[in-house]
Amino acid sequence: MSFIRTAVRSALSRRSAFFRSVKHLSTDAAQPQQHAAGGGSNGAKFPGAQQASFVTAPKLALPATMEPLPIYRVMNSEGVIEDESQDPKLDQGTLRKMFRDMVLLNTMDKILYESQRQGRISFYMTNFGEEASHIGSAAALSIEDWVYGQYREAGVLVWRGFTISDFINQCYGNAEDQGKGRQMPVHYGSRKLNFVTISSPLGTQIPQAAGAAYAFKLQPNNQRCVITYFGEGAASEGDTHAAFNFAATLDCPVIFFCRNNGFAISTPSAEQYRGDGIAGRASGYGMAALRFDGTDVFATYNATKLAREYVLRENKPIVLEAMAYRIGHHSTSDDSTAYRPAEELEVWNTVEHPITKLKHYMIRRGWFNEDEENEFVKSVRKQVLSQINQSERIPKPNWREMFQDVYQEMPQHLKEQMREMEEHVTKHQEHYPLKDYKQ
């Protein structure tokens, strides 16, 4: 508890520093950097560090001397906007959608988590505590912007219009799943919504996002950027290093959105890195960065909006770091009480909860109607439960789909293997769950 107060206090005390840095970001960015040969004032000429100058005494660059990047926030835990100039002034309709999308995600998570516990789906991962970072960032993007995610970004899909049935059909891998039942639950994808299909290997999507952004940049009149989400754990992968460096050197309009929720499964962030989080790495790559309160939907929205304008205007990447707390277990295969205290969780589940904060704000504005919201939660519950029943009854895709899409066209050897399986299944059908599959 005291830890939170300290964090809040220190964030407040650094506010002025933060605004300086934002100003710095938006003005400095417009001017190309000087790369004069021997740019150091006293004549250093090494090609590898052209801006540096000589000194006559050794001075260790100690991490302790670096000021940690401040955490930008717009509203406090009571839903009070601390600096009116930072109010994004979203209209009631937009705010209502933001709130309801967060609630929908939260409600759907609770039920699907339970349904995994009952053995109805094989696996699930909740988004508890990170709803604001999904919805806030998604709202600040254009739907034309491509999204490369990790797996805990379902809210981005909610915002873009992925339906309850889309989510649940994927989790069941039934014939209505656009992914054709080939991947584990929560590995969503949508061509229509420009959300690139999730894969399990961590960090792999990050250099891919840089490549896609580069290709978009070369298209005439490009108005499209790429955002890639990843956790602070995935940021330790080599692919993250690759992506940061490629995006910086090749000038890619990509937003690196790190969800720093304090844990990678059981590993606390203190065992993940020693530097100033993930945003603190950006300057080492020559990238802009912004750290913010990821439980504050307004801070997330403003940060992402600023980042989007920056990357498209400058054709340069940016690192965003959304600070949050992973309230749920890592996945349904994890029991997080084995590695963290319940009291800590309680705080994040109540006063520091993203939905609670936005609710406080809406109450202040007089935009919140308790009965209406209870009714909404009830109707979402009903939709999710009825969709579960429905998705369960939809047959799985024809088993021959197993052989499709390995290549664009099925090569001869796969045709032969499919035929072999057909013959086998015909002969031994009693051993295979054929009735569960589309014929």
Partner 1 sequence: MNVLAKATTSLAAGSRRSAAATAALVRHSSHFVYQPDAKAPIDGPTQKMNMFQAINQAMDIALEQNDSALVFGEDVAFGGVFRCSMGLQKKYGKGRVFNTPLCEQGIAGFAIGVANTGAKAIAEMQFADYIFPAFDQIVNEAAKYRYRSGNLYDCGSLTFRAPCGAVGHGACYHSQSPEAYFAHTPGLKVVVPRGPNKAKGLLLACVNDNDPCIVFEPKTLYRAAVEEVPVAAFESPLGKADVLRAGTDITLIGWGTQIHVLQEVADMAKKQLDVSCEVIDLVSILPWDKETICNSVKKTGRALIAHEAPLTNGFGAELAATIQEECFLHLESPVLRVTGWDTPFPHVFEPFYIPDKHRCLAGIRKLIDY
Structure tokens at 322: 């959304």
The CB-of-439 to partner 1 minimum distance in angstroms stands at 19
The CB-of-210 to partner 1 minimum distance in angstroms stands at 6
- Residue number with CB closer to partner 1 (196 or 324): 196
- Residue number with CB closer to partner 1 (79 or 317): 317
The CB-of-377 to partner 1 minimum distance in angstroms stands at 31
- Residue number with CB closer to partner 1 (17 or 215): 215
Active-site hit among 53, 200, 266, 379: 200
Strands 254-260 and 226-231: parallel
Q: What angle do CA 358, 363, 369 make, to 5 degrees?
A: 105
The residue ranges that bind partner 1 (CB under 8 A) are: 146, 148, 177-180, 182-183, 187, 189-191, 196-197, 199, 201, 204, 206-216, 218, 226, 238-239, 241-243, 245-246, 249-250, 404-408, 411-414
- Residue number with CB closer to partner 1 (241 or 340): 241
Active-site hit among 134, 187, 329, 330: 330
- Residue number with CB closer to partner 1 (124 or 214): 214
Helices 92-117 and 354-365: crossing angle in degrees, nearest 10, is: 150
Q: How far apart are CA 362 and CA 151, in angstroms?
A: 29
The CB-of-83 to partner 1 minimum distance in angstroms stands at 38
Active-site hit among 78, 82, 114, 372: 114
- Residue number with CB closer to partner 1 (385 or 406): 406
- Residue number with CB closer to partner 1 (179 or 277): 179
Q: Is 176 a catalytic residue?
A: no
The CB-of-346 to partner 1 minimum distance in angstroms stands at 38
The CB-of-20 to partner 1 minimum distance in angstroms stands at 31
SS3 labels along the chain: CHHHHHHHHHHHHCHHHHHHHHHHHHHHCCCCCCCCCCCCCCCCCCCCCCCCCCCCCCCCCCHHHCCCCCCECCECCCCCECCHHHCCCCCHHHHHHHHHHHHHHHHHHHHHHHHHHCCCCCCCCCCCCCHHHHHHHHHHCCCCCEEECCCCCHHHHHHHCCCHHHHHHHHHCCCCCCCCCCCCCCCCCECCCCEECCCCCCCCHHHHHHHHHHHHHHCCCCCCCEEEEEECCHHHCHHHHHHHHHHHHCCCCEEEEEEECCEECCEEHHHCCCCCCCHHHHHHHCCEEEEEECCCHHHHHHHHHHHHHHHHHHCCCEEEEEECCCCCCCCCCCCHHHCCCHHHHHHHHCCCCHHHHHHHHHHHHCCCCHHHHHHHHHHHHHHHHHHHHHHHHCCECCHHHHHCCCCCCCCHHHHHHHHHHHHHHHHCHHHCCHHHECC
In this structure, what is the dihedral angle of CA atoms 65, 69, 70, 74, given to the nearest 10 degrees?
170
- Residue number with CB closer to partner 1 (146 or 229): 146
Q: Is 200 a catalytic residue?
A: yes
Is 395 in contact with 438 (CB distance < 8 Å)?
yes
Active-site hit among 331, 353, 360, 391: 331
- Residue number with CB closer to partner 1 (268 or 411): 411
The CB-of-156 to partner 1 minimum distance in angstroms stands at 16
Q: Is 331 a catalytic residue?
A: yes
The CB-of-226 to partner 1 minimum distance in angstroms stands at 8
Q: Is 41 a catalytic residue?
A: no
The CB-of-92 to partner 1 minimum distance in angstroms stands at 35
Is 209 in contact with 194 (CB distance < 8 Å)?
no
Active site positions, annotated: 114, 200, 330-331
